[in-house]
Chain A
Amino acid sequence: MTFNFDNVYIEECATVCGPYEKKGPLKKYFDKTYDDLYFGEDSFEKAEIKLVKDSLVMLLKKSGYKKEEIDLVIGGDLLNQITASCYGCNGIGNGFIGIYGACSSSVLGLIIASTMINSGYINNSICVVSSHNMSSEKQFRYPTEYGAPRPNSSTFTSTGSGSCLLSNNKSNIKVECATLGGIVDYEQNDPNDMGRVMAPSVIDTLKRHLDDTKRDIHYYDLVLTGDLGKYGVEIVKDYMNTNYGIVMDNYNDCGVLLYDLEKQKDVHAGASGPACSALVAYSYIYQLMINKKIKRVLLMATGALFSPTLLFQKENINSICHAISLEVV
């Protein structure tokens, strides 16, 4: 399903991140960075809420909007009951929608907001996503201090929050169209190899996007996936080339860009988490577009719809990918 938007623009973006991301190559593009993982709070869950609040405050400051001038806030994160968004967005905007698309929440939020703005019901909207390495570890894997050795295919949940203000005021970057992805099940079930789990969703959504819009892949200066990591990226490239003859030389992945994979060995295959795609797209890619270094970007956030409970009950891990096309005008 592909929608076209006529009057949706990105007005401003804000990013806040933790110490691992600060050590990465994109440090200078982030608005605010922290040196520890607690950010002055006493638990990791509260720390993640703080991240959301910080990025919203930063976004309002940068854009000059007041809290009550925001029509709609859309928030998503990985915690149970999307608590980081629910608590973090409290007090900002006139309406709130909490969404769960796992790590694809960033683009899912943008699509929902763009549709609402394009329909004329609202004038502006903030989309915010967050993730925290430690709160996710605690919820999905082992206790945070537990030293379970991880395989090289595993990815590292990024710590940070990215927010983006969309509105119908003309700005430099236009949200041009979007393809909403469906749930994809390729019978994958290794939680330590999320690149392999999520690559099918990218293939599926990308193929449908290109078919719907009748575009060549080189229409875009950059195709950017969310958090496949270095092995998932190779799978997508190989599959697209083998099966559809599409050569993806304009392709990169936020999970590969966020950390220095040579120096930061702890992250193994790359970054993951809803914040991963937001941190890269709303800082580095946004700056590249503002400076007109690249003009057309297809942002494809990928999510593994993964529940530890159902995995133990021998179910597969499904995945989903949403794509949004951004253009410099």
Chain B
Amino acid sequence: MRNTKYNKIADRHKAEENRTKNLLIAFVSGGIIGFLGELIIEVFCLWMKMSRSDASSVMILLFIFIASFLTALGVFDKLANKFRCGLLIPITGFAHSMTSSALDYKKEGLIYGIGSNMFKLAGNAIVYGVVSAWIFGLIRYFLGGVV
């Protein structure tokens, strides 16, 4: 009763959140990253005569490097605040989460600091990446490898 009364009043003073705007920003900035990735693959395929799978590995490495480097310079968090989740969902976000954790715990040393904490945020992606790969592998096995 008391809480419902309070919630009713508190709901009148909620912070306005422009979800549509955030969504659009993330959509466009994430899209640009995807577009750039595709462009880099095409460039490597055409000019360096790489195979498509080699080119995409190189592109991923390049993005990981750029994101980590910008994190180390202290720029990436500001960009992520501006471009919202568009920068955090692609591989750039994964690299950023690892570098930022490593930077944060560097003072606690290589073992207790960086070693134990580097996967603090990225661990999620690894654990559930492996689990879902396992589930989909199983489905594929039972379907007899037709998909």
Contact = CB atoms under 8 A, between A and B. Distances in A.
Interface of A: 42-43, 138, 142-153, 186-187, 193, 196, 199-200, 231, 234-235, 238-239, 242-243, 266, 268-269
A200 B96 CA distance: 38
B28 interface: no
B103 A142 contact: no
Most A Cβ at <10 Å: residue of B13, B96, B107, B120 = B13
Q: Is the interface of A mostly helix, strand, loop or mixed?
A: loop
A243 B9 CA distance: 10
B22 interface: yes
12 contacts: A43-B107, A143-B105, A144-B100, A144-B104, A147-B87, A147-B88, A147-B100, A149-B81, A149-B85, A152-B15, A238-B12, A239-B9
Interface of B: 2-3, 5-6, 9-10, 12-17, 22, 71, 74, 76-81, 84-85, 87-88, 96-97, 99-101, 103-105, 107, 120-121
Contact of A142 (B12, B79, B121): B121
A146 B77 contact: yes
Contacts of A144: 100, 103-104
Contacts of A242: 9
A151 B3 contact: no
A147 B87 CA distance: 10
Contacts of A151: 15, 17
Pick the most buried of B2, B5, B15, B77: most chain A CB atoms within 10 A of its CB: B15
Contact of A145 (B14, B15, B100): B100
A80 to B, nearest CB: 13
Contacts of A43: 107
A187 B105 CA distance: 34
A284 B140 CA distance: 68
A323 B12 CA distance: 26
B121 A146 contact: yes
A234 B3 contact: no
Task: Identify the interface centre among B6, B79, B103, B107: most chain A CB within 10 Å of its CB.
Answer: B6
Given A43-B107, A186-B3, A187-B3, A145 B77 contact: yes
Nearest to A193: B15
Contact of B10 (A146, A149, A235, A269): A235
A302 to B, nearest CB: 15
Instruction: Find the residue from A42, A150, A239, A242 having the highest chain B CB count within 10 A.
Output: A239
